[in-house]
Amino acid sequence: MKALLFQEVGKFPTLQTVEKPKPSQPGEVVVKLKAAALNRRDYFITQGLYPGIRTPMILGSDGAGLHNDRLVVINPALYWGHDLRVQQKSFEVLGMPTYGTMAEEIVISSDRVHYAPEHLTAEEAAAIPLAGLTAYRALFTRGKLKEGQKLLITGIGGGVSSIALQFANVVGAKIAVTSGSDQKLDQAKEYGAGLGVNYTDEEWAAKLSAFGEFDLILDSAGGDGFSQLVKLAKPGGTISLYGGTRGKISNLSPQVIFWKQLDIKGSTMGSDKDFADMLSFVDAHKIRPVIDRIYSMEAVDEAFESMAVSRQYGKIVIRISE
């Protein structure tokens, strides 16, 4: 079969012919993939910025394809365990060290396979799993977002933040977003953002503050800006922190945190329940995830380049078969 094979740190995967995988454990099934999607994690792995890298490897956490002649999506959160609060030690994300979705076929435990909501194309279905799961848990399971609440999403445009905006919009949140790109801010407004602020603007915090105090802030940056986020939070509010692209947090005031009785909640991926709840939510609200662009398997380099420079708004999808 054709597969995008990652063979060496520092290089992107290349299109190769490899042996078809075969089920070897009870409960494993074959999914014939129609589309996969990229996540920042895939790019980080190619750059060696991930623990426990093994080669050769088929990357890819997101995939949709056919199983028993129906379109299915794959839950990329492997071995979460039974504690809804936190994943167990053996937790893995599909696509390293377990072979992922950037191939014509994948062998996977049947409990990871869910029928796709019927309103979705294969490419849309592939755009949902990792980002949708992460956004759903950070917004609802951890963040307890409710109708009418004010929400700030930092770094709009990425897979998680763009689907989080869609999720929050359908529940009736009042949403502000930030980005370093005015174009992405404009795009976010089409998906329900009431305010977009460019974080390169020196007045960014003041402009967000004028929008009101935030019941919930979704942040994947950390870094120096985080100390401003606690000031923007409403007393009794929550910050869901699901990434750290800006590195370590500094200059953070304990006084602001305790006087406002804030909750800072770490969130990553999600439990099996989160995944099932997220799919039901996507189905109920007929959400179509934003796709930045669909690439062919031959154009894998371009897909990874786009992720490398964070040019995209929404998901970068790779079409595997028609």
Q: Which is nearer to a second copy, 260 or 293 (CB)?
A: 260
Tally of CB atoms within 10 A around 38: 28
Least distance from a second copy to the Cβ atom of residue 162, Å: 19
CA atoms within 13 A on the CB side of 134: 27
Backbone phi and psi for residue 199, each to the nearest 5 degrees, phi listed first: -75, -5
CA atoms within 13 A on the CB side of 151: 31
Least distance from a second copy to the Cβ atom of residue 142, Å: 8
Site map 208..247 versus a second copy, x via CB under 8 A: -------------xx---xx-------xx----xxxx--x
Q: Which residue type sits at 125?
A: A
Instruction: Show the beta-strand stretches assigned E in 68-131.
Output: 70-74, 77-78, 92-93, 105-109, 113-115
Whether 139 and 240 have beta carbons less than 8 Å apart is answered as yes
CB under 8 A: which stretch of 28-36, 124-132, 264-272, 297-305 binds a second copy?
Answer: 264-272
CA distance 61 to 59: 7
* Close Cβ partners of 114 (under 8 Å, ≥ 6 residues apart): 72, 73, 74, 75, 275, 276, 279
The answer to the question of residue 248 lying near a second copy (CB under 8 A) is: yes
Kindly tell me which residue out of 39, 87, 162, 169 binds a second copy, with binding defined by CB under 8 A: 87
The answer to the question of residue 83 lying near a second copy (CB under 8 A) is: yes
The answer to the question of residue 191 lying near a second copy (CB under 8 A) is: no
Least distance from a second copy to the Cβ atom of residue 218, Å: 12
Least distance from a second copy to the Cβ atom of residue 86, Å: 3
Q: Which is nearer to a second copy, 75 or 267 (CB)?
A: 267
Q: Which is nearer to a second copy, 88 or 296 (CB)?
A: 88
Residues 122/126/127/131 CA torsion (nearest 10 deg): 150
Which candidate, 1, 24, 4, 26, places its Cα nearest to that of 13?
4
The answer to the question of residue 1 lying near a second copy (CB under 8 A) is: no
Site map 134..173 versus a second copy, x via CB under 8 A: --------x-------------------------------
- In three-state secondary structure terms, 253 is coil
The answer to the question of residue 260 lying near a second copy (CB under 8 A) is: yes
Q: Which is nearer to a second copy, 260 or 319 (CB)?
A: 260
Kindly tell me which residue out of 73, 267, 290, 320 binds a second copy, with binding defined by CB under 8 A: 267
Secondary structure (DSSP) of 257-313: HHHTT-EEEE--S--HHHHHHHHHHHHHTT----EEEEEEGGGHHHHHHHHHTT--S
Kindly tell me which residue out of 10, 19, 261, 309 binds a second copy, with binding defined by CB under 8 A: 261
Task: Please count the residues of this chain forming the interface with a second copy, following the rule CB under 8 A.
Answer: 37
The answer to the question of residue 86 lying near a second copy (CB under 8 A) is: yes
Q: Which is nearer to a second copy, 93 or 197 (CB)?
A: 93
Whether 299 and 306 have beta carbons less than 8 Å apart is answered as no
Q: Which is nearer to a second copy, 152 or 287 (CB)?
A: 152
The answer to the question of residue 250 lying near a second copy (CB under 8 A) is: yes
The answer to the question of residue 85 lying near a second copy (CB under 8 A) is: yes
Question: Which positions touch a second copy (CB under 8 A)?
Answer: 83, 85-87, 142, 221-222, 226-227, 235-236, 241-244, 247-268
